[in-house]
Amino acid sequence: AQSVAQPEDQVNVAEGNPLTVKCTYSVSGNPYLFWYVQYPNRGLQFLLKYITGDNLVKGSYGFEAEFNKSQTSFHLKKPSALVSDSALYFCAVTDSGAGSYQLTFGKGTKLSVIP
Amino acid sequence: DSGVTQTPKHLITATGQRVTLRCSPRSGDLSVYWYQQSLDQGLQFLIQYYNGEERAKGNILERFSAQQFPDLHSELNLSSLELGDSALYFCASSVEGGGSRGYTFGSGTRLTVV
């Protein structure tokens, strides 16, 4: 079975400060990891993914994430937060050896960037 | 536009009724995944089809069914609707094998059962 935990329901950060949204995962095999963002009344927009290789992944809109196999974590980061980054963020995982590749999502973290 | 088209965008129906949600995958993608997003359950995987065949099943109720047609579009049928079925239903598509090639999500169908 695969699972994702996002331990924080909400993260508040001041505009211009660095932000981190936490994610830990559990899979039987090797993970494929994803971050998506959802704005109100909108669909899921892809931010970045880790498949293999470099543990630091760079994505859209200045976001990056670091894969840490020993801690089974994939935290999302951005050096300088913008008010427009305020949204709901989802971490997701699939098992690369499972065959069906369905994504399992965390419960989401609401990011609020305060002007 | 993500390339994945879901219709309708909004649907309001009464308890006990049946509805059909439609998803057209991105061109070239063979897999379709259905997800339900509700406030209490978060994003739950329902079912996956690959090239017309069911590939994986998640937390899908027996009142719900799906299929993928030869042109690769998919339909999710929800019957005997209950208030608790009110949710945002997403479709995602991926190329053969999914995973490393990523997933593209549609904008969703918001179902309200009254």
Tens-place pLDDT, residues B51-77: 999 999 998 999 999 999 999 999 999
Say if A39 is an interface residue toward chain B (CB within 8 Å). no
Q: Do B99 and A42 touch (CB under 8 A)?
A: no
Dist. CA A113–CA A84, nearest whole Å: 8
Say if A72 is an interface residue toward chain B (CB within 8 Å). no
Ranges A97-111, B7-21, B29-43, most confident: B7-21
Asked if pLDDT for residue A41 goes beyond 80, the answer is: no
Contact A7/A107 with Cβ under 8 angstroms? no
* Region B16-33 average pLDDT: 96
Q: Do A36 and B105 touch (CB under 8 A)?
A: yes
pLDDT of residue B97: 60
Dist. CA A98–CA A28, nearest whole Å: 9
* Region A55-79 average pLDDT: 96
Asked if pLDDT for residue B32 goes beyond 70, the answer is: yes
Say if A43 is an interface residue toward chain B (CB within 8 Å). yes
B55 interaction partners in chain A (CB closer than 8 Å): 99-100
Q: pLDDT by residue (tens digit) across B42-55?
A: 899 999 999 999 99
Percentage of chain B with pLDDT > 90? 83
pLDDT of residue A109: 97
Q: Which residue has the higher pLDDT, B41 or B15?
A: B15
Dist. CA A91–CA B77, nearest whole Å: 28
Contact A78/A19 with Cβ under 8 angstroms? yes
Q: Do B106 and A108 touch (CB under 8 A)?
A: no
Asked if pLDDT for residue B98 goes beyond 90, the answer is: no
Dist. CA B108–CA A45, nearest whole Å: 12
Say if B5 is an interface residue toward chain A (CB within 8 Å). no
A44 interaction partners in chain B (CB closer than 8 Å): 90, 92, 105
* Region A61-65 average pLDDT: 96
Longest dimension (CA), chain A: 45
Of the listed ranges A55-59, A64-68, A110-114, B38-42, the one predicted with least confidence: B38-42
Mean pLDDT of chain B: 93
pLDDT of residue A52: 87
pLDDT of residue A98: 73
* Region B105-113 average pLDDT: 95
Q: Do B56 and A102 touch (CB under 8 A)?
A: yes
- Where residue A77 falls among pLDDT bands split at 50, 70, 90? very high
Angle at CA A91, nearest 5°, toward B112 and A89? Answer: 60
Q: Do B33 and A102 touch (CB under 8 A)?
A: yes
Mean pLDDT of chain A: 94
- Where residue A32 falls among pLDDT bands split at 50, 70, 90? very high
